[in-house]
Structure 1
C-alpha cells in the first residue's frame, strides 16, 4: 500500500528555512515530516487521546447560560407617553 505524502502549505523547514518544502504523512501509528530541500526528518507517535475542544465565542458557557435564562418582554404602546 502506497503512503500518501502531502506538502504542508506555508510550513517553513526548521533546518534550511525554506517555505513550502515540508511533506507530512502517517504510517503504522507514527507521524512523519521531512523536507525535500535538505535532510530534515522528524517523527512522532500519534496520540489516541481526544483533543480538548478549543473555547470559542460560540461554545462559551456564558452564552449558553444566557440562552437558558428566561426574560420577560414588555410591549410598549407608542401612544402611552
Structure 2
C-alpha cells in the first residue's frame, strides 16, 4: 500500500508536524499519524466536490 505524506499537516492528537500520511484502503481515504497512530477515515461519497468555488482548477490528480 502506497502512502503519501501531507506536507505541513499537524496531527490533531499529538500535534506533531509532517507526520500525517494519506492512503486509500477498500475505496476509503484514510489519514494516519506515523508518530502516534491516530487515524481518520472518509469514504469517497463524503468527500466535498467543490472546496473553493472562487478558484479555477486546471485538473485533479487521482492516483
Give me the TM-score of the superposition, normalised by structure 2.
Answer: 0.71
Distance 1:10 1:45 in 2: 23
How much is the aligned-residue C-alpha RMSD, in angstroms?
A: 2.4
Give me the TM-score of the superposition, normalised by structure 1.
Answer: 0.57
> Which consecutive unaligned segments of at least 5 residues does structure 1 have?
59-81
Q: Which residue of 2 is the match for residue 78 of structure 1?
A: none
Sort the Cα spacing of 1:11 and 1:25 in 2 relative to 1 into closer, same or farther, 3 A.
same
The structure in which a higher percent of residues are strand is: 2
Q: Which of the two has higher C-alpha Rg?
A: 1
Secondary structure class of the residue paired with 1:31: strand
Sort the Cα spacing of 1:15 and 1:50 in 2 relative to 1 into closer, same or farther, 3 A.
closer
Distance 1:7 1:49 in 2: 19
Distance 1:50 1:16 in 2: 26
Deviation >4 Å, runs of 4+: none
Sort the Cα spacing of 1:49 and 1:14 in 2 relative to 1 into closer, same or farther, 3 A.
closer
> Which consecutive unaligned segments of at least 5 residues does structure 2 have?
57-63
The structure in which a higher percent of residues are helix is: 1
